[in-house]
């Protein structure tokens, strides 16, 4: 054990000496490893941060939650011209299904609509995500209220002019003033602020954040514009009872709505039901694909880096031929020489990897401060970077180490004279 520790110490000294005496040559040779490790860890850190943000954003939603609407979120076997003939889901169907599907714990009626500009006196906030939805939404998805409250069942059914605004909206319109019970202007109408949501941070996958979102009763919008407008897409959100299989609830909803709409046996469904778990599986596949692409691209840099390490080691063997001969003449075994150069290759490679990981860490710090998004360089990624660097050093250093260990001591000493 002490022998290997001494080998490691000597190898570290030789590696540091190579860095000091041939700084430019060594740096250029290590550049491939540095860039390769940087690429891999940067991709892994970015994807892990995105995955963490998505799971954090979706932690408030049951994965079995489903969306009933005219079109599917994903690909469909139904031709586009056929789908365009499907009717929108209606408020009346939402009310019917609430009483007809006991396997559903909660249902909410929402309208997907365009962004709007919200005004208060001479202040305004543009591109605000509008979420007209019935009061049951808070039973399906957690809405964290920082101040005030969410609207009640009676306010929802009556379509009262009340709003719950996001943190950033409140900051833009009211600054440090208390926004509760103040009136903002939306759709040319005054609406009273009854709640402000907690700060969430930026949304993931391009989804809007609650910070720039306003919730208000869906019937308020229906009273203004009716149920059939190009900028409005109605959807029924369904949360199954605890313990109920999502597919079973989906089948129940499908059968009830087919009967309610008079869809005949053998005819295709003229609506779509998407389960959120399918969306999360698609995200997991996409994240896995991004990781794989990152490894493939980074592999080319690591290949170049491996050749660079091998080049350093072959030069090192050439420069220390005389020393190797002396060591062998004094009784050093082939194994000792082999491990000495192998450890040196690993140390050089790990140094290149550490430089790459240091660059990633610096970028994560800068981006986390510049953007409203937390980039994280986790311990797992650091271990991966260190492991890959070590592997590259082992592979690149094995041939130079073998060639050094096989040198004839007499010839080695003579060639160095």
Structural domain spans, the chain: 2-57+282-415, 87-270
pLDDT in tens, 3-16: 667 766 766 676 67
Q: How far is the C-alpha of 63 from the C-alpha of 26, rounded, in Å?
A: 52
Of 253 and 4, which is predicted with more confidence? 253
**In the structure, what pLDDT confidence band is assigned to residue 353 with cuts at 50, 70 and 90?**
confident
In angstroms and rounded to an integer, the radius of gyration of the C-alpha atoms of the chain is 32
* pLDDT (tens digit per residue) in 35-91: 888 888 888 888 888 777 777 766 656 678 889 998 877 666 777 777 778 888 999
Q: Which of 83-87, 108-112, 206-210, 260-264 has the lowest mean pLDDT?
A: 206-210
- Report the run of H or E that residue 279 belongs to, with start and end: helix 276-319
Per-residue b/e over 80-98, b at no fewer than 16 CB within 10 Å? eeebeebebbebebbeebb
For residue 414, pLDDT over 80 is answered with: no
Structure tokens, 57? 């954003």
H/E run at residue 148: strand 145-148
The more confidently predicted of residues 93 and 370 is: 93
CA distance 79 to 94: 26
Query: Per residue in 357-392, is it b (16+ CB within 10 Å) or e — as a string?
Result: bebbeebbeeeeeeeeeebebeeebbebbbebbbeb
Structure token digits, residue 264 = 């005949």
List the structure tokens of 29. 């040779």
Burial class (CB in 10 A: 0-12, 13-18, 19+), 331: exposed
pTM: 0.67
* DSSP helix/strand/coil, 122: coil
**pLDDT score at 15:** 64
Average pLDDT over the chain reads: 83
- The pLDDT of residue 400 is above 70: yes
**pLDDT at residue 47 in the model:** 80
Query: Cα separation of 48 and 378, whole Å?
Result: 8
pLDDT of 283 strictly over 80: no
CB 330 within 8 A of CB 55: no
Q: How far apart are alpha carbons 95 and 308 in whole angstroms?
A: 69
What dihedral do alpha carbons 290, 295, 297, 302 form, nearest 10°? Answer: 160
């Amino acid at each position: 054990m002490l022998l290997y520790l001494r080998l490691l110490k000597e190898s570290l000294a030789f590696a540091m000496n190579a860095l000091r005496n041939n700084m430019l040559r060594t740096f250029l040779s290590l550049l491939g490893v540095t860039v390769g490790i940087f690429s891999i860890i940067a991709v892994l850190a970015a994807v892990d941060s995105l995955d963490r943000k998505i799971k954090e954003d979706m932690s408030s939603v049951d994965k079995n939650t489903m969306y009933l609407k005219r079109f599917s979120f994903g690909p469909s076997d139904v031709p586009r011209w056929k789908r365009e003939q499907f009717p929108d889901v209606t408020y009346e169907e939402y009310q019917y299904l609430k009483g007809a599907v006991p396997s559903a714990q909660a249902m909410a009626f929402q309208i997907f609509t365009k962004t709007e500009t919200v005004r208060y006196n001479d202040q305004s906030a543009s591109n605000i995500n509008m979420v007209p939805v019935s009061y049951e939404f808070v039973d399906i998805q957690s809405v964290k209220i920082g101040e005030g409250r969410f609207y009640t069942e009676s306010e929802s059914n009556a379509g009262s002019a009340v709003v719950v605004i996001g943190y950033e909206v409140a900051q833009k319109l009211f600054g440090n003033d208390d926004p509760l019970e103040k009136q903002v202007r939306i759709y040319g109408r005054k609406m009273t602020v009854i709640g402000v949501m907690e700060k969430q941070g930026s949304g993931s996958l391009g989804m809007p954040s609650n910070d720039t979102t306003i919730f208000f009763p869906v019937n308020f919008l229906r009273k203004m514009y009716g149920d059939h407008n190009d900028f409005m897409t109605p959807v029924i959100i369904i949360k199954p009872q605890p313990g109920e299989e999502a597919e079973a609830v989906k089948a129940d909803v499908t059968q009830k709505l087919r009967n309610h709409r008079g869809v005949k046996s053998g005819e295709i469904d003229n609506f779509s039901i998407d389960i959120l778990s399918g969306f999360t599986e698609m995200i997991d596949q996409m994240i896995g694909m991004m990781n794989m692409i990152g490894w493939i691209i980074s592999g080319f840099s690591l290949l170049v880096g491996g050749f660079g390490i091998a080049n350093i080691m072959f030069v090192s063997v050439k420069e220390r031929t005389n020393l190797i001969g002396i060591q062998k003449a004094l009784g050093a075994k082939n194994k000792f020489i082999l491990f000495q150069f192998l450890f040196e290759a690993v140390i050089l490679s790990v140094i290149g990897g550490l430089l790459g990981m240091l660059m990633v860490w610096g970028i994560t710090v800068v981006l986390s401060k510049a953007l409203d998004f937390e980039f994280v360089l986790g311990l797992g990624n650091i271990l991966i970077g260190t492991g890959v660097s070590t592997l590259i050093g082992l592979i690149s250093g094995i041939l130079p180490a073998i060639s050094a260990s096989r040198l004839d001591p007499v010839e080695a000493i003579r060639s160095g004279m």
